[in-house]
Structure 1
């Protein structure tokens, strides 16, 4: 992946996150971000590996996260 592709991908993820943020009431977004952080922390602890390439796997992690109630 070229540097330009990485930048485009990063910007797309940023756009998605802003879209989510602006579509939710502030209180819901606060819970969402807290639970997202807990989810990523749990994934890291349970696998024993740090999730280094969140940009690459963001969509997959978000899909798994959204399957379960928060």
Structure 2
């Protein structure tokens, strides 16, 4: 577990990632990351993946288009 401290960056707040975390995530200065909510109620930080973003857009469109069908199937 790595503890992070929230710090002021201009008019915003941010966190600084230690070198160990940057190395494990294969991140460098200027890289993008994604913060997603996990099923357990926490959050997960992962490197940005443009292919995954494209897949999620397709999935979201399908869920929107077939919303009623998915609702019936979930009952």
Bigger CA radius of gyration: 2
Give the structure-2-normalised TM-score.
0.30
